[in-house]
């Protein structure tokens, strides 16, 4: 029993990052620590999304819609190559992104009219 607990505890949680727009458009990047045969992901209590197989050298990119929130709860279940089930309850703080980019004239550097110091 102790060996089983140790092997389950040894599976590190995947790294997560997210961007979230005010309209609820969310991009979630999942970086697994070990290869998965299949996985499912649920964000903010929404229905689960099938992710399929994954490996540590190929992060998964998931596009979804959710309610804007400062912290997103994420439920992730996976099956590893040995057939063991894994489950994580995680939270990710999304980076806010605008709905659209600002006009180019606001982004361009404008000369200040000052002469550089010597």
pLDDT for the residue 38 = 94
Q: Are strands 49-50 and 36-43 parallel, antiparallel or unpaired?
A: antiparallel
Q: Which of 66, 86, 70 lies closest to 24 in space, CA to CA? A: 66
Span 75-95, average pLDDT: 94
The whole-number average pLDDT for the span 111-118 is 60
Q: Can you give 15-43 as a three-state secondary structure string?
A: EEEEEECCCCEEEEEEECCCCEEEEEEEE
Mean pLDDT confidence for 26-35? 92
In sequence order, the 6+-apart residues with CB closer than 8 A to the CB of 73 are 43, 44, 45, 89, 90, 91
Across the range 58-70, mean pLDDT stands at: 91
CA angle 57, 60, 62 (to 5 degrees): 170
What pLDDT, in 10s, does the model give residues 5-27? 444 445 788 999 999 998 889 99
- Between vectors from CA 34 to CA 76 and to CA 73, what angle results, nearest 5°? 20
Which CATH architecture best describes the domain 11-107?
Answer: Sandwich (2.60)
């Amino acid at each position: 029993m102790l060996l089983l607990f140790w092997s389950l505890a040894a599976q590190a949680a995947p790294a997560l990052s997210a961007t979230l727009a005010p309209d609820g458009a969310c991009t979630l990047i999942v970086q697994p620590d070990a290869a998965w045969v299949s996985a499912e992901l649920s964000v903010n209590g929404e229905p689960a999304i099938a992710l399929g197989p994954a490996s540590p050298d190929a992060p998964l990119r998931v596009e979804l819609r959710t309610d804007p929130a400062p912290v997103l709860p994420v439920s992730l279940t996976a099956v590893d190559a040995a057939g063991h089930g894994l489950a994580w309850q995680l939270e990710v703080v999304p980076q806010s992104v605008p709905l659209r980019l600002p006009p180019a004239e606001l982004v361009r550097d404008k000369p200040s009219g000052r002469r550089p110091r010597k």
